Structure 1
């Protein structure tokens, strides 16, 4: 990974990365495959809706 030249760029990247990770990440080991796929599809649909707006 390249180094960030400005602290502001790093902060912006980390902020976006954290929100995306929290939105899409779910603990796979706690759910059955069917529930995981359903939750993942819902999260991706919501994320695509937010990006399209």
Structure 2
């Protein structure tokens, strides 16, 4: 975290990293199908929102 000189940059990075982590690292066996799809949809929506900004 010392590499980030501005808090805003750190927050942006954390938001993107969380979206990617949630999208690709689902413990599939521990969640039901509807929960998995809901989390995946939310992650994709956030990812697209960040890409459009």
Q: Shared fold by TM > 0.5?
A: yes
Give the TM interval when normalised to the shorter protein.
Answer: 0.5 to 0.7
Cα–Cα, structure 1 residues 23 and 51, in superposed 2: closer, same or farther, change >3 Å?
farther
Of the two structures, which has the highest relative contact order with CA contacts closer than 8 Å and spacing of 6 or more? Answer: 2
Q: Could you tell me which residue of structure 2 aligns to residue 37 of structure 1?
A: 37
Task: Tell me how far 1:23 sits from its aligned partner.
Answer: 3.9
Please identify runs of 4+ aligned residues in structure 1 that moved more than 3 A. Answer: none
Task: Give the TM-score normalised by structure 2.
Answer: 0.55
Task: Give the TM-score normalised by structure 1.
Answer: 0.55
The unaligned stretches of length 5 or more in structure 2 are 1-16
What is the root-mean-square deviation in Å for CA atoms of aligned residues?
Answer: 1.6
Aligned length: 35
